[in-house]
Structure 1
Amino acid sequence: MADIEATKSLTGLLNGIAQKAYYNNAEITEELLKTELYPDLSQEDFNALHERMKGLLKSIAMADMDHGQLEAFLTAQMKKQGGGGMSEAQAAALSRFWKSQRARVRERLVAQSRWETGLRGLTWRVDLQTSSSRGQEAAQSGPVALLELELGCPSQDSEYVCLECDEPTVNQVLKKMADIQRSIDAVVHRS
């Protein structure tokens, strides 16, 4: 029963560390984690455990470890001598935590590392123009592609850019995209 409680507390600690470090949750503090999860542990022992788990989680996250890498890393940590190692229960809790949170943590790390605007979304449709505001003949007008690009950084609201392309422009864009794809394929197949 004590092992189950220790595993729950460690899982809670790992979740708290992730909330603070990767999800910017300011409500999570070391004091809160200690009082809620480890009330009987001395402050010194809690600080040591917190820093060790924080360091391990940072190492795992920065390397974006897959299952095999994680198992090798945790095995090496369990074999460490001199109090720097971890128990099997701690390794199992860390492994379970990482398996469930890997994608979310990676997504947050990628989002935090971007400082420039990125493409968030794209919508498009094809319309038929029947006349032009410039007085052109209806016979000259044809189908147009209307593209709406949603641009933004993770920390700000989106901006929208609208583009209108006629059929030759769409064909030119498609040709350029095909050229880019061929270039990527050539590089990938060379490696």
Structure 2
Amino acid sequence: MADVEVTKPLSGLLNGIAQMVYYNKREITEELLKNELYPEMPLEEFKALYEKMKGLVKSIATADMDHAQLEAFLTAQTKRQGGIGLSAEQAAALSRFWKSQRVRVRGSLLAQSRWEPSLRGLSWRVDLQTGDSYGNTVHRGPVALMELELGRDGQDSDFVCLEFDETKVNQVLKKMADIQESIDRIVCRT
């Protein structure tokens, strides 16, 4: 029975932290969590518990820990000394919380990291004009036509059509190569 009395408010605290940090529920506040879940706990003690749990949830979420990683992480946390470690009940509550919230938290993190509007689709073709409407031969170079489908989540798409001559295509390809090179440099550093 004592285990349930300890983990029920802690489960509520973990869910409240997720509501605030990952699900943008502005009505959930640190003060509300304190008053509803830990009314008898001194404010400084609650703040320490709140910050500790918030930090642990962020660490777990940032690493998107699977079951094995989570268990290893929680085991290491329970072995920490000096009041900074976790109790077995706290570790169990974190484990239950993450098992039930992992998919939703991950989805929230992905949604928060997405740029809007986003590219939903791209189609292209190359046209070569061989004559004008009067039957005259025209020697204009190839033209690349690109259609971008852009949109925000839950809204209809907008379409943008771009036309490039050979010079512009080469400039775009050069810029894309520069971007890829920059990404490769950053990735190699980490």
Normalised to the residue count of structure 1, the TM-score between the two structures is 0.65
CA distance in 2 between counterparts of 1:5 and 1:112 reads 35
Amino acid at match of 1:81: Q
Aligned: 1:57 with 2:43: no
Counterparts of 1:1-80 in structure 2 under 5 Å? Answer: 1-80=1-80
Q: What residue in structure 1 maps to residue 116 of structure 2?
A: 116
Work out the number of aligned pairs and report it.
133
Aligned to 2:131: none
Residues in 1 aligned to 2:30 and 2:2: alpha-carbon distance in whole angstroms: 23
RMSD between superposed Cα atoms in Å: 2.0
1:167-186 aligned at under 5 Å gives the runs none
> Hey, what does 2:156 align to over in structure 1?
159
Contact 1:9 1:38 in 2 (8 A): yes
CA contact (8 A) 2:116 2:151 kept: no
Alpha carbons of structure 1 residues 3 and 118: separation in structure 2 relative to 1, 3 Å: same
Separation (CA, whole Å) in 1 of partners of 2:28 and 2:67: 28
Identity of aligned residues (%): 67
Instruction: Give 1:159 deviation, angstroms.
Output: 2.6
After TM superposition, the score normalised by the length of structure 2 is 0.65
Shift of 1:150: 7.9
Is the partner of 1:159 in helix, strand or coil?
coil
What's 2:92 paired with? 92
Deviations 1:61-112 (A, max 9, x none): 0000000000000000000011100111110010000001000000000000
Q: Which SS does the other structure have where 2:157 is aligned?
A: strand
* Structure 1 unpaired stretches of 5+: 122-148, 163-191
Tell me the CA shift for residue 120 of structure 1: 7.1
Q: Which runs of 5+ in 2 are unaligned?
A: 122-148, 160-190
